[in-house]
Amino acid sequence: MEFPMRINKYLAHTGVASRREADELITKNKVQINGEAAVMGQQVNENDKVNVLGKTKAKSYLAYYKGRGIITHSPASHETDIATRLAKDYGISHVSPIGRLDKDSEGLMIISNDGRITGPLLDPESDHEKEYDVMVDKRVSGMFVRAMTAGVDIEGYRTKPAKVTASTKNDKRFSIILTEGKKHQIRRMCAALGYQIQTLRRVRVMNIEIGKLKPNQYRKIQGDELKMFMAELGLK
């Protein structure tokens, strides 16, 4: 860490709270620097003693399988979102989805109450890998694989190079690893090449794999898996 730094950034870097949560703690006079109440925007030096009064929320990290038809955020009145399913089926209400996966797609979502991971995980410049298993409406040709790998022009934007592998068991199926996340990107890439997606499933985010999860199932991310995930995000 480079000092001096703002108190909310310091608390985020040391794993105490996200910057937003840190600001709330400061507002409630629960943060002290060298024995005195911290103020918003205050700078912390390397030898300062920072103390947080009371307990902060325990951090939770979940790998969740979002099924088709489920909304990640802000559902309409007739729709169901992830938060509603988690609360109804498991009594889990203290976490939120990080990022999005469109309604017609399925697969892995990272769910957490740790606001620190949102920025690093979704940063388009971070090059974090996301892997998808895709079924299309016709045979995956060598030309299609080469084009998807090199990058596709979608409405004036050329996608970054990707890793694309055709299935050896089904000639309409392929896997793709992206390091970016434009809206409906894979669907738009396929459409630009004359293909329509039948199914799209996200199977991995960085080192977190969907494994044997089924729709609406979750598991905790913990141990070495969590340590690697946080390290890749530049967090403790």
Catalytically active residues, by annotation: 102
Question: What whole-number distance in Å separates Cα of residue 44 and Cα of residue 7?
Answer: 6
For 144, the token pair is 């299609």
Burial of 142 (0-12, 13-18, 19+ CB in 10 A): exposed
- What is d(CA 230, CA 226) in angstroms, rounded to the nearest whole number? 6
Contact yes or no for 175/201 (Cβ under 8 A): no
- Name residue 138's amino acid: K
DSSP string, 183-199: TTHHHHHHHHTT--EEE
Six-digit token string for 190: 């396929």
CA-nearest of 149, 140, 153 to 178 is 149
Rounded Cα distance, 163 and 57, in Å: 39
